[in-house]
Structure 1
Amino acid sequence: MKALTWHGKSDIRCESVPDPQIQHERDAIIRVTACAICGSDLHIYDGVIPSMESGDVVGHEAMGEVVEVGRGNSKLKVGDRVVVPFTISCGECFFCKRGFYSGCERSNPNQDAARKLWGNSPGGLFGYSHLLGGFPGGQAEYLRVPYADVGPIKVPAGLDDEQVLFLSDIFPTGYMAAEFCDIQPGDTIAVWGCGPVGQMAIRSAFLLGAERVIAIDTVPERLELARQGGAVTLDFMEQDIYDRILEYTRGRGADACIDAVGTEAETMASADSMMDRAKVALFMGTDRPHVLRQAIHCCRNFGTVSIVGVYGGFLDKIPMGSAINRGLKFRMAQTPVQHYLPMLLDRIEKGEIDPSFVITHRASLEDGPDLYKTFRDKKDGCIKVVLKP
């Protein structure tokens, strides 16, 4: 089959790889009908995610048609249309039983390596390094889905692929980011990053009752899409974000701040972000947490900082004094997608939101390598890429 594979920094290729096979009785094989390039895939493209190996199949946003089912899987049958969560979860362990599917104790076969970096291991992820299981990803013609009686959700008739594809990751992640904010009537929510997850967080914040959302980015197309969703927008290259947020909130700060950027904050945004870049280049740091620092300072006393941007290692110069003395709450996670799927699918069916609004580019797998670069460089108005094998 054809698939997108990683061969080093800025080197994604479309090439032939072996077809996936049933390996466990709970597996399923799907023929991928739509997949997407996620903002977190760009961290792989930029070479900042450890334990990638040459030839790894990438991608963790995928859906398609079931073509084969393991003999122990009674949930799915051949011909079912399904969306596949990016988190791989057994459904039976301590965390899965409590709804914390992304913390699954069984799905990552490389737990020992993860423990060395993080102290303990999360669940496995599709297409996202051997630290998280080394599972082949979904930017391919076919995908093996482990624990397929737990993860995939069936797509009702009448909904097309583009309406439901983002249930695999960015819609639940953006919704979770807003849910973490414990939004009350009258609240102002600030969102750093107007990429796909940030866009979902903006609209989810309004769905959950926010009065105002302040969206922060510098890319014109992203800021315009945020405005279309009802947000007030700030360009961090042209305005002092801290001063403007305090101005909008009468000196109090945002009720909650969402970091939808993560480890690769814009280098030229500030002096501290330039220092972060230098430290990473000199192997003195692993991440560039400028956005997280700013979100902490812009949050009101006893507010919430919601973190859904990807961080990989150890963060430097985090203002914990500000957080502790002002009573901030931190909420963060790899999204337990399965927990959110039924409710978010219901919102789509009711017409409360159509996640396809974020798509700007549609292409084939063969176009994938070029579109990784287009997406990374924020060219051609690219906000979200959907690939159709």
Structure 2
Amino acid sequence: MRWDLRPYPAPAGSGQRGKEENHEEATMKALIYHGPGRRSWEEVPEPRLTAPTDAVVRVDAVTICGTDLHILKGDVPAVTPGRILGHEAVGTVTATGDAVTTVKEGDRVLVSCVSACGRCRYCRESMYGQCLGGGGWILGHLIDGTQAEYVRVPFADTSTYLLPEGVEDEAALMLADILPTAYEVGVLNGRVRPGDTVVVVGAGPIGLAAIATAQLFTPSHIVAVDLAQSRLEAAKQFGADVVVGAGDDASAAVAELTGGLGADVAIEAVGVPETFEQCTRLIRAGGHVANVGVHGESVPLRLQDLWIRNVTITTGLVDTYSTPALLDMITARRLDPGKFVTHRFPLDEMSAAYDTFSAPEATGALKVVLTR
């Protein structure tokens, strides 16, 4: 069998529905990447439908991700100057291509950080992050993203989620990236099981989301490791039983909890060599290291020490296959992602929001939300 990985062809007479028809010269404000360390909130053309599977979404709420900070550091060279950043949003559909059938103008939707063509080998295996048909992590990466007044969303049928009444924008926004990322790449890849001792290294938003979702599997202990006292306090609020800060011995703390064995699962949620190596030291023989952090430089892998201890190391880009289940948990009040939000800004204060989010030690920021 041969896989047809070409984009959907435009049907004869393909048109578009919604506001797109009458705004040829319209402009909007967006956060533009101008190279490492350089960004600006400036005026650019509004997005237009370019394929019959597209939708244009008015951004009603958007947030900033740690990955955006990695981009600004130059850690993601595929992001080129001139790109609109951002890959998380909640908004209202304003236009759809003729092939879009599951959302329509006026619908309130979650825009996922991962786009899915729905047709390729990986999409058929629910590995949407590895999409071969033009999707994967493309928003704010390979195409213009969500930190703007409007965003073009490719493959709208399989890359947006209708939001039920009663789910607030802020809560839904946490499902665009951090919750499915922590849950899939950290908790599920790490194979957290009832009774486990789980160590989360890094108590930023992703680490806190790992703590929150690890609790779904009733581990016996959740240990949070971070240098910032404010984030350790947040970790306690999200469910950590033990916190380890600057000057503390994480290995000794874990050994005391486990009778000297080590953790069953260590979740790396920072993305620097030191924290990855720390995770490999904290786990027991037969344990799992689940790497969630975005790494921008080489990390030593001391395989000569790890192979004989039956250690499993997993990596991953989020696939967002868990988003519908997480949305159901929010609707049923089993998860409360709104508590991730510590700072709120109007959309046109994007630069101030970046300044706040990028200095969590001084501001105490976890997630910032910008709204119209």
Cα gap change, 1:38 to 1:235, in 2 (>3 Å): same
Query: How many angstroms apart in 2 are the aligned matches of 1:320 and 1:373?
Result: 39
Task: Give the TM-score, by structure 2 length.
Answer: 0.89
Query: What's the counterpart of residue 90 of structure 1?
Result: 117
Secondary structure of 2:157's aligned partner: coil
Contact 1:30 1:68 in 2 (8 A): yes
Secondary structure of 2:218's aligned partner: coil
Query: What's the counterpart of residue 25 of structure 2?
Result: none
Secondary structure of 2:252's aligned partner: helix
Query: How many angstroms apart in 1 are the aligned matches of 2:266 and 2:343?
Result: 29
Query: How many angstroms apart in 1 are the aligned matches of 2:366 and 2:116?
Result: 29
Query: What's the counterpart of residue 279 of structure 1?
Result: none
Contact 1:296 1:305 in 2 (8 A): yes
Cα gap change, 1:356 to 1:49, in 2 (>3 Å): same
How many residues align? The count is 343
Cα gap change, 1:328 to 1:203, in 2 (>3 Å): same
Contact 2:356 2:365 in 1 (8 A): yes
Query: What's the counterpart of residue 81 of structure 2?
Result: 54
Moved more, 14-23 or 222-231: 222-231
Q: Specify the code of the residue in structure 2 equivalent to 1:354.
A: D
Moved more, 368-377 or 343-352: 368-377
Question: Structure 1 regions of 5+ residues with no counterpart?
Answer: 109-122, 129-133, 266-288
Query: How many angstroms apart in 2 are the aligned matches of 1:237 and 1:257?
Result: 18
Contact 2:229 2:245 in 1 (8 A): no
1:355-388 Cα shifts (integer Å, max 9, x gaps): 1111111102332223223222222211111111
Contact 1:223 1:233 in 2 (8 A): no
1:211-266 Cα shifts (integer Å, max 9, x gaps): 2100011222211111012213434421122222222221100000001111xx3x
Query: How many angstroms apart in 2 are the aligned matches of 1:365 and 1:170?
Result: 20
Query: What's the counterpart of residue 167 of structure 1?
Result: 175
The RMSD of aligned alpha carbons is 1.4
Query: What's the counterpart of residue 278 of structure 2?
Result: 294
1:377 has 2:359 as partner: yes
Secondary structure of 2:175's aligned partner: helix
Shift of 1:4: 0.8
Query: How many angstroms apart in 1 are the aligned matches of 2:123 and 2:367?
Result: 30
1:35-68 Cα shifts (integer Å, max 9, x gaps): 1001111101222221332221001111100000
Which of residues 98, 109, 130 in structure 2 aligns to 1:71? Answer: 98
Query: How many angstroms apart in 1 are the aligned matches of 2:144 and 2:76?
Result: 15
Which of residues 151, 164, 173 in structure 2 aligns to 1:156? Answer: 164
1:125 has 2:138 as partner: yes
Contact 1:212 1:232 in 2 (8 A): yes
Query: What's the counterpart of residue 213 of structure 2?
Result: 204
Moved more, 145-154 or 53-62: 53-62
Which of residues 33, 55, 69 in structure 2 aligns to 1:6? Answer: 33
1:48-107 Cα shifts (integer Å, max 9, x gaps): 221332221001111100000000111111111110111121001000001111110111
Query: What's the counterpart of residue 150 of structure 2?
Result: 142
Contact 1:4 1:365 in 2 (8 A): no
Contact 1:297 1:322 in 2 (8 A): no
1:110-135 Cα shifts (integer Å, max 9, x gaps): xxxxxxxxxxxxx342102xxxxx21
Secondary structure of 2:174's aligned partner: helix
Q: Specify the code of the residue in structure 2 equivalent to 1:7.
A: H
